[in-house]
Amino acid sequence: MSLIRVLLAIVFPPLAVFDRGCGSILIVALLTCFGWIPGVIAALVILNKS
């Protein structure tokens, strides 16, 4: 997990997980619509998995 990805996950979470697949993008985008914090947390969890 690079520093650029972490910063991108904080600023715009769906863009940070664009290479993880369509499902990850949709989940993070949906959570970001419900609230910025859940989207950031989901993006960081997805980025931390690999």
Task: Give me the pLDDT at residue 50, please.
Answer: 66
Task: Give me the pLDDT at residue 48, please.
Answer: 93
Task: Give me the pLDDT at residue 45, please.
Answer: 95
For the four alpha carbons of 33, 14, 26 and 39, in that order, the dihedral sign comes to negative
pLDDT tens digits, 1-50: 789 999 999 999 999 999 998 999 999 999 999 999 999 999 999 999 86
Residues 6+ apart with CB under 8 A from 33: 39
CA 38 to chain centroid, in Å, comes to 9
Per the CB < 8 A criterion, the answer to whether 39 and 8 are in contact is: no
What is the residue extent of each domain of the chain?
A: 3-49
